[in-house]
Amino acid sequence: MAIGDMMMMGSGLMGSVLAQAAPPAAMSDVHLAHYLFVACVMFVIGLIGFLTRRNLIIMFLCTDLMFQAAGVALIAFSRYHLNHTGETFTIVLITVAAAEAAMALALVVLLFRKKESLDAEEWTELKG
Partner 1 sequence: MMTLLTNTHGLMHALSGAALAVSDEAGHAAGHASGPVAQTFAAGPMFGLLVVALPLLACILCGLCAMGRVKTKLPAFLTVLCLAGSFLVTLALYLQHHGQPAGTAWIIQGFEWIRLDYRQMVDSVVQSRSFIANFGLYVDSLTCLWMLFVTGLATLIALYASEYMSHDVGQGYNRFFAAFSLFVFSMACLVMADNLVLLYLGWEGVGLCSYLLIGYFYKKPSAVAAAKKAFILNRIGDLGLALGIMLCYVHFGSVEYKVIFEKCAPYMASLAAGQLDQIPLIAQFIPLCLMIGAFGKSAQLPLYVWLPDAMEGPTPVSALIHAATMVTAGVFLIARTYPLFLMSEYALPIVAWVGALTALLAATIGMAQFDIKRIMAYSTVSQLGYMFAGLAVLTSVGGAAHVFTHAFFKAMLFLACGAVMHGFAGQLDLRKLSGVGSMPGWRVVGIAMLVGCLNLAGFPIITAGFWSKDMILGEAFANSQMQAIGWILLLTAGLTAYYTFRVYFRVFVGPKHYEPGDEHHGDDHGHDHGHGHADGHDEGHQTSGKHGFHPHAPGWAINTVLATLAVAAFVIVPLVALNHGGWVKDMVGASSAQFNEKAAYLIAAKGDLHTKFFGFDAHKAMMVVSSIVGLIGIAVAFVLHYQGRTTAATSKADALLPAFGPIAKWAQNKWYVDEFYNAIVRMPLLALAQIFHWFDKLVIDGLVDFFGWTPRGLGGSLRPAQSGEMHTYAVGMAGGLAVMAVVVIVVLM
Partner 2 sequence: MNLFLNPFVLYSLVALGAVGVSLALPRRGVNPQVLGGIIAGTAAGLVILMLGVRAVGDGAGLVNPFFYVFGIAAIASGLRMVTHPKPVYAALYFTLTILATAGLFLILASEFMAFALVIVYAGAILITYLFVIMLASQSGKESAEEGLAAYDTESREPVISTVACFVLLAALLTLTFRGVKEMGPGANIAQSAAVIDRLPGKAERALIDAGVIASGDKVEVFSGKSQVANVRKADGTVVEVSAASAGSKWPKSLEVENVEGLGFTLLKDHPGIIEIAGVVLLMAMLGAVVLSRKQVQFDEDQKVAQSRRLREETARL
Interacting residue with partner 2 among 1, 2, 5, 9 (CB under 8 A): 9
SS3 label, residue 14 = coil
| Interacting positions 37-56 with partner 2 (CB under 8 A) | 37-38, 40-49, 51-55
Residue 76 interacting partner from partner 2, partner 1, none (CB closer than 5 to 8 Å by kind)? partner 2
Closest distance to partner 1 from the beta carbon of 115 (Å): 14
Q: Pick from 1, 3, 5, 124: which binds partner 2 (CB under 8 A)?
A: 3
Contact 71, 55 (CB under 8 A): no
- Touching partner 2, residues 78-97 (CB under 8 A): 78-85, 87-88, 90-92, 94-97
70 binds, among partner 1, partner 2, none (CB under 5 to 8 A by kind): none
DSSP H or E stretch at residue 68: helix 56-81
Q: Which residues bind partner 1 (CB under 8 A)?
A: 47, 50-51, 54, 120-121, 123-128
Please give the Cα distance from 60 to 66 (Å, whole number). Answer: 10
Q: Are 18 and 10 in contact (CB under 8 A)?
A: no
The torsion angles phi and psi of 97, rounded to 5 degrees, stand at -60, -40
Q: Least CB distance from residue 125 to partner 1, whole Å?
A: 6
The CA-atom distances, in angstroms, between 120 and each of 29, 43, 45, 47, 68 are 41, 21, 19, 16, 23
Sole binder of partner 2 in the list 1, 2, 6, 126 (CB under 8 A) = 6
